[in-house]
Chain A
Amino acid sequence: GENVEQHPSTLSVQEGDSAVIKCTYSDSASNYFPWYKQELGKRPQLIIDIRSNVGEKKDQRIAVTLNKTAKHFSLHITETQPEDSAVYFCAASMNRDDKIIFGKGTRLHILP
Protein backbone atom coordinates (compact mmCIF):
# COMPACT_ATOMS: atom_id res chain seq x y z
CA GLY A 1 0.00 0.00 0.00
CA GLU A 2 0.86 3.67 -0.12
CA ASN A 3 3.43 5.07 2.31
CA VAL A 4 4.03 8.80 2.76
CA GLU A 5 7.20 10.10 4.38
CA GLN A 6 7.42 13.70 5.57
CA HIS A 7 10.26 15.84 6.84
CA PRO A 8 11.29 17.67 8.84
CA SER A 9 9.20 16.68 11.84
CA THR A 10 9.78 20.12 13.39
CA LEU A 11 10.60 23.39 11.68
CA SER A 12 11.25 26.80 13.20
CA VAL A 13 11.48 29.90 11.02
CA GLN A 14 11.63 33.62 11.69
CA GLU A 15 8.47 35.54 10.96
CA GLY A 16 8.64 36.78 7.40
CA ASP A 17 10.96 34.02 6.20
CA SER A 18 9.94 31.06 4.04
CA ALA A 19 9.20 27.52 5.17
CA VAL A 20 9.52 24.37 3.09
CA ILE A 21 8.14 20.93 3.97
CA LYS A 22 9.01 17.92 1.85
CA CYS A 23 7.25 14.62 1.29
CA THR A 24 7.79 11.44 -0.67
CA TYR A 25 5.30 8.75 -1.58
CA SER A 26 5.68 5.15 -2.66
CA ASP A 27 2.70 4.27 -4.86
CA SER A 28 3.08 5.50 -8.43
CA ALA A 29 -0.70 5.12 -8.86
CA SER A 30 -1.33 8.05 -6.49
CA ASN A 31 -2.68 11.05 -8.36
CA TYR A 32 -3.88 13.48 -5.73
CA PHE A 33 -1.75 15.20 -3.09
CA PRO A 34 -3.48 17.36 -0.49
CA TRP A 35 -1.94 19.34 2.34
CA TYR A 36 -3.72 19.78 5.66
CA LYS A 37 -3.14 22.25 8.48
CA GLN A 38 -4.05 21.28 12.02
CA GLU A 39 -4.00 23.80 14.82
CA LEU A 40 -3.81 22.60 18.39
CA GLY A 41 -7.01 20.87 19.43
CA LYS A 42 -8.70 21.43 16.08
CA ARG A 43 -9.62 19.36 13.07
CA PRO A 44 -7.34 19.02 10.03
CA GLN A 45 -8.25 21.53 7.34
CA LEU A 46 -7.36 21.34 3.68
CA ILE A 47 -5.18 24.27 2.67
CA ILE A 48 -4.09 23.34 -0.86
CA ASP A 49 -3.95 20.30 -3.10
CA ILE A 50 -2.39 19.28 -6.39
CA ARG A 51 -3.14 16.64 -8.99
CA SER A 52 -0.51 14.61 -10.79
CA ASN A 53 -1.10 16.33 -14.12
CA VAL A 54 0.10 19.62 -12.63
CA GLY A 55 3.66 20.37 -11.53
CA GLU A 56 3.01 23.42 -9.41
CA LYS A 57 0.10 25.26 -7.85
CA LYS A 58 0.03 28.52 -5.94
CA ASP A 59 -2.52 30.17 -3.67
CA GLN A 60 -1.38 33.50 -2.23
CA ARG A 61 1.52 32.72 0.14
CA ILE A 62 1.25 28.96 -0.26
CA ALA A 63 2.59 26.88 -3.14
CA VAL A 64 2.95 23.18 -3.79
CA THR A 65 5.28 21.48 -6.24
CA LEU A 66 5.11 17.90 -7.47
CA ASN A 67 7.76 15.77 -9.13
CA LYS A 68 5.87 12.63 -10.13
CA THR A 69 8.93 10.93 -11.58
CA ALA A 70 10.80 11.22 -8.32
CA LYS A 71 7.64 10.81 -6.21
CA HIS A 72 8.40 14.00 -4.32
CA PHE A 73 6.11 16.88 -3.43
CA SER A 74 6.68 19.97 -1.33
CA LEU A 75 4.83 22.75 0.44
CA HIS A 76 6.25 26.27 0.37
CA ILE A 77 4.99 29.03 2.62
CA THR A 78 6.39 32.50 1.96
CA GLU A 79 6.31 35.58 4.20
CA THR A 80 5.40 33.47 7.19
CA GLN A 81 3.11 34.92 9.86
CA PRO A 82 2.38 33.90 13.47
CA GLU A 83 -0.92 32.32 12.42
CA ASP A 84 1.00 29.88 10.23
CA SER A 85 2.16 28.09 13.38
CA ALA A 86 0.51 24.66 13.29
CA VAL A 87 1.10 21.05 12.29
CA TYR A 88 1.09 20.45 8.56
CA PHE A 89 0.35 17.06 7.00
CA CYS A 90 1.04 15.98 3.47
CA ALA A 91 -0.99 13.15 2.03
CA ALA A 92 -1.50 11.03 -1.06
CA SER A 93 -4.50 9.40 -2.66
CA MET A 94 -5.79 8.02 -5.95
CA ASN A 95 -8.46 10.71 -6.15
CA ARG A 96 -9.95 13.49 -4.05
CA ASP A 97 -12.56 11.21 -2.51
CA ASP A 98 -10.58 7.98 -2.13
CA LYS A 99 -8.85 7.04 1.09
CA ILE A 100 -6.04 9.41 1.93
CA ILE A 101 -2.74 8.28 3.39
CA PHE A 102 -1.14 10.92 5.59
CA GLY A 103 2.43 11.68 6.51
CA LYS A 104 3.38 12.02 10.17
CA GLY A 105 3.28 15.78 10.14
CA THR A 106 5.58 18.77 10.50
CA ARG A 107 5.22 21.07 13.48
CA LEU A 108 5.91 24.58 12.21
CA HIS A 109 6.89 27.28 14.69
CA ILE A 110 6.98 30.89 13.54
CA LEU A 111 9.43 32.81 15.73
CA PRO A 112 8.82 36.51 16.45
Chain B
Amino acid sequence: DTGVSQDPRHKITKRGQNVTFRCDPISEHNRLYWYRQTLGQGPEFLTYFQNEAQLEKSRLLSDRFSAERPKGSFSTLEIQRTEQGDSAMYLCASSLGKGSYGYTFGSGTRLTVV
Protein backbone atom coordinates (compact mmCIF):
# COMPACT_ATOMS: atom_id res chain seq x y z
CA ASP B 1 0.00 0.00 0.00
CA THR B 2 1.86 3.03 -1.24
CA GLY B 3 -0.65 5.77 -0.51
CA VAL B 4 -3.86 7.30 -1.79
CA SER B 5 -4.52 6.38 -5.42
CA GLN B 6 -6.70 8.34 -7.80
CA ASP B 7 -7.88 7.35 -11.23
CA PRO B 8 -7.74 8.68 -13.87
CA ARG B 9 -4.88 11.16 -13.56
CA HIS B 10 -6.28 13.29 -16.35
CA LYS B 11 -9.72 13.56 -17.91
CA ILE B 12 -10.82 15.70 -20.83
CA THR B 13 -14.54 15.80 -21.45
CA LYS B 14 -17.00 17.78 -23.48
CA ARG B 15 -19.38 20.13 -21.75
CA GLY B 16 -22.57 18.37 -20.78
CA GLN B 17 -21.00 14.93 -20.37
CA ASN B 18 -20.90 13.02 -17.09
CA VAL B 19 -17.59 12.04 -15.51
CA THR B 20 -16.68 9.76 -12.62
CA PHE B 21 -13.47 9.69 -10.63
CA ARG B 22 -12.22 7.01 -8.31
CA CYS B 23 -10.20 7.24 -5.10
CA ASP B 24 -8.58 4.34 -3.25
CA PRO B 25 -7.54 5.42 0.24
CA ILE B 26 -4.74 3.99 2.35
CA SER B 27 -5.83 0.65 3.80
CA GLU B 28 -7.60 0.91 7.14
CA HIS B 29 -8.11 4.66 6.78
CA ASN B 30 -11.64 5.31 7.96
CA ARG B 31 -12.02 8.83 6.68
CA LEU B 32 -11.97 9.90 3.07
CA TYR B 33 -12.17 13.45 1.77
CA TRP B 34 -12.73 15.11 -1.60
CA TYR B 35 -11.36 18.54 -2.42
CA ARG B 36 -11.24 20.65 -5.56
CA GLN B 37 -8.32 22.91 -6.43
CA THR B 38 -8.22 25.50 -9.18
CA LEU B 39 -5.08 27.24 -10.39
CA GLY B 40 -3.66 29.61 -7.81
CA GLN B 41 -6.12 28.65 -5.10
CA GLY B 42 -6.09 26.45 -2.05
CA PRO B 43 -7.95 23.15 -1.95
CA GLU B 44 -11.69 23.69 -1.51
CA PHE B 45 -13.60 21.19 0.64
CA LEU B 46 -16.29 19.19 -1.19
CA THR B 47 -17.32 16.29 1.04
CA TYR B 48 -16.05 13.61 3.40
CA PHE B 49 -16.88 10.15 4.66
CA GLN B 50 -16.44 8.13 7.83
CA ASN B 51 -16.43 4.58 6.50
CA GLU B 52 -19.47 4.45 4.20
CA ALA B 53 -21.33 7.35 5.83
CA GLN B 54 -21.15 10.75 4.15
CA LEU B 55 -20.64 13.14 7.07
CA GLU B 56 -20.81 16.48 5.30
CA LYS B 57 -21.23 17.97 1.86
CA SER B 58 -20.19 21.52 1.07
CA ARG B 59 -23.05 23.95 0.59
CA LEU B 60 -21.14 25.25 -2.41
CA LEU B 61 -21.51 21.92 -4.14
CA SER B 62 -24.26 21.83 -6.72
CA ASP B 63 -26.67 18.93 -7.13
CA ARG B 64 -24.65 17.87 -10.18
CA PHE B 65 -21.98 16.51 -7.83
CA SER B 66 -22.41 13.26 -5.96
CA ALA B 67 -20.00 11.08 -4.05
CA GLU B 68 -20.25 7.56 -2.71
CA ARG B 69 -18.22 5.18 -0.62
CA PRO B 70 -20.41 2.11 -0.74
CA LYS B 71 -18.27 -0.38 1.16
CA GLY B 72 -16.23 2.02 3.23
CA SER B 73 -13.15 1.49 1.08
CA PHE B 74 -12.83 3.21 -2.31
CA SER B 75 -14.92 6.24 -3.21
CA THR B 76 -16.28 7.69 -6.43
CA LEU B 77 -17.05 11.30 -7.28
CA GLU B 78 -19.46 11.87 -10.15
CA ILE B 79 -20.11 15.15 -11.92
CA GLN B 80 -23.17 15.25 -14.13
CA ARG B 81 -23.68 17.63 -17.04
CA THR B 82 -20.19 19.05 -16.73
CA GLU B 83 -19.60 22.77 -17.19
CA GLN B 84 -16.40 24.64 -18.06
CA GLY B 85 -16.29 25.94 -14.48
CA ASP B 86 -15.85 22.38 -13.27
CA SER B 87 -12.35 22.30 -14.75
CA ALA B 88 -10.02 21.79 -11.80
CA MET B 89 -7.82 19.32 -9.96
CA TYR B 90 -9.93 16.97 -7.85
CA LEU B 91 -7.98 15.79 -4.83
CA CYS B 92 -8.80 12.88 -2.59
CA ALA B 93 -7.31 12.38 0.87
CA SER B 94 -7.67 9.85 3.64
CA SER B 95 -6.94 9.61 7.35
CA LEU B 96 -7.11 7.00 10.08
CA GLY B 97 -9.73 8.96 11.96
CA LYS B 98 -9.93 9.24 15.74
CA GLY B 99 -7.77 12.33 15.76
CA SER B 100 -4.77 10.58 14.31
CA TYR B 101 -2.04 11.83 12.02
CA GLY B 102 -4.05 13.97 9.67
CA TYR B 103 -4.53 13.71 5.94
CA THR B 104 -2.60 12.03 3.19
CA PHE B 105 -3.49 13.41 -0.22
CA GLY B 106 -3.56 11.57 -3.51
CA SER B 107 -2.03 12.99 -6.66
CA GLY B 108 -5.38 14.15 -7.95
CA THR B 109 -7.46 13.90 -11.11
CA ARG B 110 -7.17 16.86 -13.43
CA LEU B 111 -10.45 17.55 -15.20
CA THR B 112 -10.63 19.71 -18.30
CA VAL B 113 -14.07 20.51 -19.69
CA VAL B 114 -14.00 21.73 -23.28
Contacts and interface: CB of A to CB of B under 8 A. Distances in A.
B102 interface: yes
Contact of B103 (A42, A46, A103, A105): A46
A44 B98 contact: no
Given A99-B33, A102-B42, A34 B105 contact: no
Contacts, number: 54
Most buried by B among A102, A103, A104: A102
A95 B43 contact: no
A43 B91 contact: yes
A46 B32 CA distance: 16
Interface in A17-48: 34, 42-46
A96 interface: yes
Interface of B: 31, 33, 40-45, 48, 56, 91, 95-103, 105-108
Interface of A: 4, 6, 34, 42-46, 49, 89, 91, 95-97, 99-105
